[in-house]
Structure formats: structure tokens, C-alpha cells
Amino acid sequence: MDVHLLGINHHTAPLELRERLALDGAGVAAVLRDIRSDAAAAEAVLLATCNRTELYVAASDSAAADAGMRRVFARLAGDRAALVPACAYGESGERAARHLLRVAAGLDSMILGEHQILGQVREAQSRAHDAETLGPLTHRLWSTALHAGKRARAETDIGMGAVSVAQAAVCLAERAVGELRGRHILLIGAGDTCRLAARHVADRRPARLWVANRTVAKAVAIAEAFGGDPVALENLDEVLPSADAVISATRAPGFVLTAGQVRRATEGRPGRPLALVDVAMPRDIDPACADLLGAALFSIDAVRTLVDRSLAHRVREVPRVEAILEEEGARLAAWTRAQGAAAVVRELVERFEQVREEEVRRNLKHFQPEEEASLDRLTRAMITRLLRPPITQLTSGTLPPAVESVRLDLLRELFALDPAGTAGKVCRGDR
């Protein structure tokens, strides 16, 4: 039995296909519930995020597994099913495992090194456990991936720095006014950038978070999600004097914050700077604010410079992450090969024991009853001595994977072992 992968992501599939295959918890559970019949899979885990959908199954028939997974994807894609063959990628064995390790480490993310994927990998494992489709092979694979992802972030700087516009904006505000914990923060806008900025600000536990927008209902939605207060755009002057930092990202055609408003807000507060981070295009904040005493203005260019520097630093960390993944992948491969060898050892021992018992029963008539126990001990000892050298070789793990696989197949053939019978029963018993 081996692991097989079929997936799509932001590298391979257009948005309209990714949308069709984007599944919530109930959708994931439904796929996992049916996957055994769809793909002849003994085990299955489904990793579903906004940018990727990847199905991992453990199955002994690779062709049946691949065909079944493609049927699942086609059914989910609906009228976009014709896109699946060109957009989906498939891997098996160690290549499938190495891909998951790269995903967990953030090397395959839209934003290099982003941290959310590790939680999503953990959630996929939990959902498979709840659906009772997580087995010995996938459990080991997922545990290795989570460990590799944690090591990558703990031992390298792959997750350091601000590599999204929203995150960089918050970091620049901190540079100007210091730690945002206990501060008063004003966000202007209600799009994706402001929503993400609100998440980063909320993580820092400000004393007050305002969200201002021309459409107040949108401001209410973000404010409620992150423990803030909504503000109508025309009421900015009421909260601006109390703000320590402003992040603005609207699509307004003109300035939403003028130099006059900022001047009035900073008057009478010496030693308490006001950080202004403008990530809009066209600009939201009057550039003349840069010349005002007590105000620190950062433009979209400053934000992008910080993003580029952080991303360049993460790129330099990739070789260090790859080295960690190589170590973890090698350990997983050795474990997987050991399971295959252990299965053959069980089959071999059982085959020899079966022959021994048959021959002992056939020849009991030639021995006295008191000799039966001695005969049993003698034949068992012979089998043990004969099998010790091949078992030692089989479990040594010293051969390359391809050579070891050929050797195991040859051994099964030479001794007429039955992987579909004995080994299959052992695997299901382990589960």
C-alpha cells in the first residue's frame, strides 16, 4: 500500500476551478465518507484551503486510486470538470510525501513561508480522524509533515518579516509609534486589505480599534469580527485626535484624509506621534501630511519596499528549509520501507510456519507421543536459525529504495507469499 496524491492549487488552476473545489468542513466530511468506494482507498486525508485542494489516499492499486480521485474532483468541479485533467497534478509514494512536507513548511504557498498553512494541515488531519479515514500510513505522513513545518519555522527565518501589504502596513505603524498593544488604531476602508489589517491589529490587542467606511454596514461587519467599533467616514474628525495610528485602504477617487484634518488632530499632543499608512491607489492621505509636525506618513511604496525586503530574506532561507525537509523525508521513507519489509517478514515467517506444521502433522505417525514435543521444538529451532539471516538483511534498511523494493518483490515470488492475503490482514489489524 502506498500514498497517492491528486491536487490543484494557485499555481495550476484558475480561480473558477479553485472555487468549485473549495470545501468547508461538511464538504470535506462528505468526500472522506465516500472516498473508499470512489478510489478503493484504505485511508484518506483531504487538505482544502482557499488556494489548494489536495486529496491524499493510501491504496494498494495506484491506477484505481488515481481514477477514483479524478472522479471525485470531476464531480466537485461540476460544469468546470473539463478543466480538471489539465489543472490537476498527481504524485505517489515518496514524491507525494515530499510535496506535503513542502506544503506544511510554506514553500508551496502563494506567500512564501506563510504560517496559516500549518494550522490548515493540522485541521485536515483532525477531520480525517473524525471521519475515521486516517490510518497508520497517513497518520505517520501527517505527523511528519507537521513536525517538519514546525521545525522550518523554529530553526529558520522562513516565516519572518511582513510579506503581505496589510501585515507590512501594521509593521510600519509599529515602527512609528511602538508596540500597538494598548494603543488606539483607526482603519479606513472595508476591503480585503483592511480586513486582514484588522486581524493583525487585533492580534496585538489594542485598547481601541475603529473601522471607518463610507458604507457603514461594511465597517460594522469588520468591526464586529475583530472587536472594534464602526465609524462613518464623515465622522473621522471625532476619532482622529485619539488615534495613535491610521491605516487607510479605500478606493476613493480623492483624499479621504486631508492635511488640515491631520494638523488639527495632532495639535496639543506633543510627544505623541500619529502614524499614517496609506496603502491605497490612488492615495487616500494627502502627501502634505508628511511635512506636519507629529505625523509620520508611509506611502504604498514604503509598504512594498518592506514586503520586498521581507520576501527576499525568506527566499534566502529556502535552502535551510529544504535541508530540514530532506532529513524529515528521509526518516519517513525509512519508516515506510521498514513497514514494507516488516510485512514481508511476517508473510515469510507465516509461510515457513505453515509448511513446518504441515510436515510435522504428516510425520507424527513415525514418532512416539513422548517425542512429539521434542519434534516441535526441533523444527521450530531449525526455522528460526534458517530465517534469522534473511530477516536481518530485510530489516537493515541499507539498500536504496528501488533495490529494496525489487528484493521484496523477488522474495514474495520465490516463496509464493501472498501480499493480498496475509499482509492485507495484518494492515487492517494494525488499523
DSSP 274-332: EEEEE--SS-SB-GGGGGSTTEEEE-HHHHHHHHHHHHHHHHHHHHHHHHHHHHHHHHH
Selected catalytic residue, list 50, 87, 171, 194: 50
The arithmetic mean of pLDDT across residues 285-297, rounded, is 95
pTM of the complete model: 0.71
> Which strands, in side-by-side order, build the sheet including 295-298?
229-232, 208-213, 184-188, 245-248, 274-278, 295-298
First-last CA distance in the chain: 13
**Least confident residue range of 175-189, 210-224, 380-394:** 380-394
Phi and psi, residue 47, nearest 5°:
-100, 110
Residue 128's pLDDT is 96
For the cut 60, the answer to whether the pLDDT of residue 429 exceeds it is: no
Percent of the chain's residues with pLDDT above 70: 94
Q: How confident is the model at residue 396 (pLDDT cuts 50, 70, 90)?
A: low
Q: How confident is the model at residue 136 (pLDDT cuts 50, 70, 90)?
A: very high
The arithmetic mean of pLDDT across residues 99-113, rounded, is 93
| Residue linked to cell 516488516 | 342
CA separation for the pair 24, 143 (Å, rounded): 22
Long-range contacts of 411-415 (CB under 8 A, 24+ apart): 411/344, 411/348, 412/344, 412/347, 415/348, 415/351
List 188's β-bridge partners, or say none.
212, 248
For the cut 70, the answer to whether the pLDDT of residue 354 exceeds it is: yes
Cβ proximity of 51 and 5 under 8 Å: no
Q: Which residue has the higher pLDDT, 271 or 75?
A: 75
Q: How far is CA 226 from CA 187, 197, 222, 372, in A?
A: 12, 10, 6, 79
Residue 290's pLDDT is 95
Give the chain's domains with CATH numbers. Answer: 2-160 (3.30.460.30), 165-306 (3.40.50.720), 334-430 (no CATH)
Residue 123's pLDDT is 96
Tens of pLDDT, residues 171-180 = 999 999 999 9
Residue 182: HSE in the Cβ half-sphere, 13 Å Cα cutoff: 2
| Residue linked to cell 494557485 | 10
The b-or-e profile of 421-431 (16+ CB within 10 A means b, else e) is ebbeebbeeee
CA separation for the pair 398, 421 (Å, rounded): 27
Residue 162's pLDDT is 84
The arithmetic mean of pLDDT across residues 368-382, rounded, is 84
Q: At what angle do helices 116-130 and 93-104 cross, to 10 degrees?
A: 130
Q: Which residue has the higher pLDDT, 316 or 379?
A: 316
C-alpha cell at 174: 509599529
Q: How confident is the model at residue 401 (pLDDT cuts 50, 70, 90)?
A: low
For the cut 80, the answer to whether the pLDDT of residue 409 exceeds it is: no
Cβ proximity of 187 and 210 under 8 Å: yes
Tens of pLDDT, residues 299-311 = 999 999 999 999 9
Q: Which residue has the higher pLDDT, 26 or 408?
A: 26
Q: Is 50 a catalytic residue?
A: yes
The arithmetic mean of pLDDT across residues 44-51, rounded, is 92
Residue 400's pLDDT is 66
Residue 419's pLDDT is 52
**Least confident residue range of 9-18, 102-111, 348-357:** 348-357
CA separation for the pair 2, 56 (Å, rounded): 10
DSSP 131-173: TT---HHHHHHHHHHHHHHHHHHHHSSTT-S--SHHHHHHHHH
Cβ proximity of 73 and 50 under 8 Å: no
| 219 C-beta neighbours (distance < 10 Å), count | 25
Tens of pLDDT, residues 203-259 = 999 999 999 999 999 999 999 999 999 999 999 999 999 999 999 999 898 999 999
Residue 358's pLDDT is 86
Cβ proximity of 25 and 34 under 8 Å: no
Cβ proximity of 169 and 33 under 8 Å: no
For the cut 60, the answer to whether the pLDDT of residue 13 exceeds it is: yes
Q: How confident is the model at residue 425 (pLDDT cuts 50, 70, 90)?
A: very low
